[in-house]
């Protein structure tokens, strides 16, 4: 019986480690894709983020989640986002489908800098076109 318990708990730990390592690889791939975008090259996030989402909400560091209108964050979402948004030098991309968060990623400003843009706009569609300047600051393509 003791051996079965050890095997059971070891399996659970192994599955958790595998799940977290897959999430990290996904995040690294997204950051690499963003870093690979050329200066003055237009892009949209639907070609980089393959998940099924209809709205991107970009959250700046320390933003109050209760001030975000139109998205139904679960308590688990809020907890994850509070940790994610506590890092300086990063924005958090919250991917929304039908007003529910389906995933999020913390993106460093060194990859792409959305911070100046989100002073006026936080919501974006999957097909919204963006362009990078020499400092990797993002602007909208009209």
Residue 21: the pLDDT is 45
139 CB-contact burial (10 Å; exposed 0-12 / middle 13-18 / buried 19+): middle
Give the chain's domain count.
1
Residue 19: the pLDDT is 46
Residue 137 CB neighbour total at 10 angstroms? 15
Provide φ and ψ at 22, rounded to 5°.
-65, -40
96 and 102 in contact (C-beta within 8 Å)?
yes
What tokens were used for 51? 């998940």
Note if the pTM is more than 0.85: no
Range of the domain at 47: 2-140
Residue 51: the pLDDT is 83
CA gap 22, 84 in Å, rounded: 18
User: Which residues of the chain are modeled with pLDDT < 70?
Assistant: 1, 4-24
Instruction: Enumerate the β-bridge partners of residue 92.
Output: 59, 106
Residue recorded with tokens 């995040």? 27
Report the SS3 class of residue 35. helix
Residue 22: the pLDDT is 45
Residue 101: the pLDDT is 93
Residue 20: the pLDDT is 47
């Amino acid at each position: 019986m003791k051996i079965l318990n050890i095997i059971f708990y070891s399996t659970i730990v192994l599955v958790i480690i595998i799940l977290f390592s897959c999430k990290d690889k996904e995040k690294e791939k997204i950051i690499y894709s963003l870093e690979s975008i050329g200066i003055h090259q237009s892009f949209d996030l639907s070609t980089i983020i393959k998940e099924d989402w209809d709205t991107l909400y970009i959250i700046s560091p320390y933003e109050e989640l209760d001030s975000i209108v139109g998205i139904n964050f679960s308590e688990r979402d809020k907890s994850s986002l509070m940790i994610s948004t506590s890092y300086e030098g990063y924005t958090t991309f919250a991917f929304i489908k039908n007003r529910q968060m389906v995933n999020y990623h913390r993106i460093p400003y060194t990859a792409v800098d959305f911070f100046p843009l989100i002073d006026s706009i936080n919501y974006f569609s999957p097909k919204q076109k963006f362009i990078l300047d020499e400092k990797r600051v993002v602007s909208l393509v009209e």
